[in-house]
Structure 1
Amino acid sequence: MFKKLRKAVHPVLVFSLFMIAANMGYAKIYKWVDEDGKVHFSDREDRSVEQEVVNVKPGASKWSRFDIRIKAVDVELSDEENQQIVDGVNNVYEFFDRVMSFDMYRTVPVNILILKDRTEYQNYLVRKEKGMAVASYGVYISSEHQIVVYVQENRSRTFKTIKHEVSHAVVDTIVPYAPAWLNEGLAEQMEVLEHDQAGLYFERHEDNRRVVAQAREQGRLAGIEQFLKLPSNKWRHSDMSGASSLRAQAGQFVGFLLSKPTRRNFVVRLMHNFNRGDRTLAYYLVDDNYIGGVSMLDLDWRRWLLQQGKGINRL
């Protein structure tokens, strides 16, 4: 009976490992045979046995894309630009659905309002009593499920701003207790989120890389312990002052966390903790959930800063 049960369960286990590998973004699966001739599969390398790597290719995404409403006031958008906006917004939704494991179909898709210049943008926010955001490039108005931006001189930055604000819309709706560094860091990374035939991937965020590198050279880069212990209200106050590198550091730090499957899974656990209403200071959740605690996280982060990993991070 136990032999039959083992034979029945074994294919399920193998299939589960393959599915985990697919969701982790090309993670390696190792196969080896023990002395009794029994085949084993694992997502971890064991150098004490002779293993071979099983090539696992994730299946095509079954993500059903949303129709996104775009309203441009006194702005001419080409068909290509309209499609770029729609694709960018859907890429962000797909990231939170497939990578972060949130059900995006339970949220209300945003609508996009694009104004012709900064002056019109500021006037619109004043009318909406959103005066605190007049120095920004874009804003999410939760009461209307609306993202408002203006056309920047470099139009591609406008489209990046839209993806940034879509991330805020998702996090503010689904994970309202997420700490400011995580909320902002995810939004910064969404700016460089792209999609091709192989799936979602992140390009390197060159602006944030440059700012963080400069802050590090000048000794202004916040230590990870200080960074994680900073309350969200103080984080936002420091960020809005424009005198710190916190926003760029948040983007680079989240980019670092998303650059490997194990760390990516760690971010998912954090997000779902906050989704359940956990208001524990991020420092303590990180110390409990990251292998080796905050001290190991700090070491991994510093190593990553020196190398920056690959130019493209596939999910």
Structure 2
Amino acid sequence: MIVATPGSAKIYKWVDENGKVHFSDRQDHRVEQEVVNVRPTASDWTRFDIKVEAVDVELSDEENQNIVDGVNNVYEFFDRVMSFDMYRTVPVNILILKDYTVYRNYLVSNDRGLGVASYGLYIPAEHQIVVYMQEDRSLTFRTIKHEVSHAVVDTIVPYAPAWLNEGLAEQMEMLERDESGLYFEPHPVNRWVVAQALDQDRLTDIDQLLKLPSNEWRHSEIQGRGSLRAQSGEFVFFLLSKPTRRNFLVRLMHNFNRGDRTLSYYLVDDNYLGGLTMLGSDWRRWLHAQGEGLIRL
């Protein structure tokens, strides 16, 4: 799959001596290439009617619409960009509580004690997302999009590794839409954390991140060590930034969707142009170049 819009990097196509067709977003003057003209088709996406319940919280009509739009944008991303049939899932319902104390008590009373330190939680049995209204209300709306991503991945790709599940959720906080379509903004907190880790030479090597089993990733996250959450989010942002990288991300997700439990590290050579060496090189260049601005899909 190749996804692009006007203004995206060009896609080059060539055939090697064995007749195998290759695609790349880099021009190689050593081979005869042609530019592929990619024309996105019109969307046939139909939005879901999302239930939003606010308890002891006053939501304006604009805020309610903002929540509904954000949820539908996440669903549309997984449907159109990641090529999953979102109509096979049950739309989530949103419960917004007035503050952290009420939120904590709600989770404890529903035997969800592990989530009390979080900003929000997806509860699969009820297809429900529970959050509390933060002082900066926009952060609550971002948290809802984060948890919607978890709802999608947990339902459709239950074997997705933790770095990918959390990385997608982190970046989904920054998913927006304008008249041109869906786009991602950089995640300011994750960008800052990763930049600090890079400057202090404590950023996890990408091959080690991709080798990390989900239980070890989560253990490190619970212990509050390192910057794995921020790095996972930035790495997903990096993968979304070019059509060929998005293709790699889609391949990974569909491998795991089919029940593949292979560590991501061992899937790179077969799915990323140039293999693990090129992926690491591309990632390092992207980091030192301060990444991307807006990513349009």
The answer as to whether partners of 1:176 and 1:275 remain within 8 angstroms in 2 is yes
**Is the 1:88–1:163 Cα contact (8 Å) retained in structure 2?**
yes
For 1:29-108, list aligned pairs within 5 A: 45=27, 47=29, 58-108=40-90
- Could you say if the C-alpha distance between residues 218 and 46 of structure 1 is closer, same or farther in structure 2, counting changes exceeding 3 Å? closer
Amino acid at match of 1:24: A
- Secondary structure in structure 2 of the residue aligned to 1:120: helix
Shift of 1:229: 0.9
Shift of the alpha carbon at 1:309? 3.6
> Is structure 2 residue 188 aligned with structure 1 residue 202?
no
Aligned residue among 209, 222, 234 for 2:204: 222
Deviating more after overlay: 75-84 vs 237-246:
237-246
The percent identity for this pair of structures is 74
Within 5 A, what are the aligned runs for 1:274-313?
274-313=256-295
Q: Could you say which structure has the larger radius of gyration? A: 1
Distance 1:266 1:104 in 2: 20
- Tell me the CA shift for residue 57 of structure 1: 5.2
Name the structure 2 match of 1:183. 165
CA positional deviation for 1:298: 1.0
Q: Distance in 2 between matches of 1:51 and 1:218?
A: 41
Structure 1 range deviating more: 283-292 or 132-141: 283-292
Which blocks of at least 5 consecutive residues in structure 1 are unaligned?
1-19, 32-41
Q: Distance in 2 between matches of 1:60 and 1:201?
A: 16
Aligned counterpart for 2:5 among listed residues 25, 35, 39: 25
Following superposition, the deviation at residue 308 of structure 1 comes to 3.1
Q: Structure 1 pair 291/129, CA: closer, same or farther in 2 (3 Å)?
A: same
How far apart in 2 are the matches of 1:53 and 1:261?
A: 14
Q: Compute the displacement of 1:289 (Å).
A: 1.6
Matched-pair contact (CA < 8 Å) for 1:91–1:194: yes
Matches of 2:31 and 2:260, distance apart in 1: 41
Letter aligned with residue 212 of structure 1? V
Q: CA deviation at 1:294?
A: 1.6
- Provide the alpha-carbon RMSD of the alignment: 2.1
Shift in Å, 1:49: 9.6
Match of residue 132 from structure 1: 114
Deviations 1:215-257 (A, max 9, x none): 1111111001111111100101111222321000000000001
Which of the numbers 123, 130, 149 marks the counterpart of 2:105?
123
Which secondary structure state, in structure 2, belongs to the residue aligned with residue 119 of structure 1?
helix
The structure-2 alpha-carbon separation of the partners of 1:30 and 1:270, relative to structure 1 and needing over 3 Å to count, comes to closer
Q: Which amino acid aligns with 2:274?
A: G
Residue among 137, 142, 159 paired with 1:160: 142
* Equivalent residue, structure 1, for 2:235: 253
What displacement does 1:58 show?
3.1
Segments of 5+ residues of structure 2 without an aligned counterpart are 14-22
List structure 1 runs of 4+ shifted beyond 4 angstroms: 42-57
Asked whether the 8 Å contact 1:25–1:261 carries over to 2, the reply is no
Looking at structure 2, the residues matched to 164 and 171 of structure 1 have their Cα atoms a distance apart, in angstroms, of 11
Q: Is the 8 A contact 2:149 2:168 kept in 1?
A: yes
Question: Is residue 5–residue 296 contact of structure 2 (8 Å, CA) maintained in 1?
Answer: yes
Cα distance in 2 between the residues matched to 1:43 and 1:183? 26
Aligned equivalents of 1:267, 1:53: Cα separation in 2: 22
Q: 1:200 is paired with a residue of what secondary structure?
A: strand
Secondary structure of 1:291's match?
A: coil
Deviation, 1:307, is 1.4
Provide the TM-score with structure 2 as the length reference.
0.90
Which residue pairs with 1:39 in the alignment?
A: none
Evaluate the alpha carbon distance shift between residue 158 and residue 60 of structure 1 in structure 2; reply closer, same or farther with a 3 A threshold. same
* CA deviation profile, 1:176-215 (whole Å, cap 9, x unmatched): 0000000000000100000111111000111100000001
* 1:266 has 2:248 as partner: yes
Q: Which has the higher contact order (CA 8 A, sep 6+)?
A: 2
Shift, 1:123, TM fit? 0.4
Deviation at 1:87, TM superposition (A): 0.3
Query: Which residue of the partner structure matches residue 214 of structure 2?
Result: 232
Q: Do the aligned partners of residues 182 and 206 (structure 1) sit closer, same or farther apart at CA in structure 2, a change above 3 Å counting? A: same
The equivalent of 1:145 in structure 2 is 127
